[in-house]
A = this chain, B = another copy of it.
Amino acid sequence: MDRSPLREEIERRNRTLVTAFDRRDERSMAELFTADAQLFPPGREPVSGTERIAAFWKQVFGTGVDEFALETIEVEDCGETAIEVGRYTLRTDDEILDEGTSLVVWKRDDGEWKLHRDIWNSNRSP
């Protein structure tokens, strides 16, 4: 498995995202995205920019998810851009609500890696 410094950095950023989720801190989550980031959640129109991304996460806090987990499957290094294939899991305290695949385009932004394009979908049949 690729254990590159870039992959480790992206895993670190994902842990920061998950920790902010655990604190229900949508501001800190949104700050991990670039200023012109776009989120593509299933079942709705794209979500653009820091304010709307914060509002999106705040709304997720109200959907009964107790635990949000991310696993990095692969990272491609493209210099100032990186592409990550990952897996997410959403759980309540006693069951898995959803699990699926994500594809994230990361950008190095003033020395920090930030999420720039973020799309995911469920692996479970509807």
Contacts and interface: CB of A to CB of B under 8 A. Distances in A.
Contact of A117 (B38, B41, B46, B85): B85
Interface stretch (A3-11, A19-27, A118-126): A118-126
A119 B103 contact: yes
B81 A76 contact: yes
Contacts of A43: 121-126
Given A38-B85, A79-B78, A103-B103, A44 B125 contact: yes
Interface of A: 38, 40-46, 76, 78-79, 81, 83, 85, 101-103, 105, 117, 119-126
14 contacts: A38-B85, A42-B122, A42-B126, A43-B122, A43-B126, A44-B123, A45-B123, A46-B101, A78-B79, A85-B117, A101-B119, A103-B103, A119-B119, A126-B126
Given A103-B105, A119-B120, A126-B126, 6 more contacts: A41-B121, A43-B121, A43-B123, A43-B124, A46-B101, A78-B78
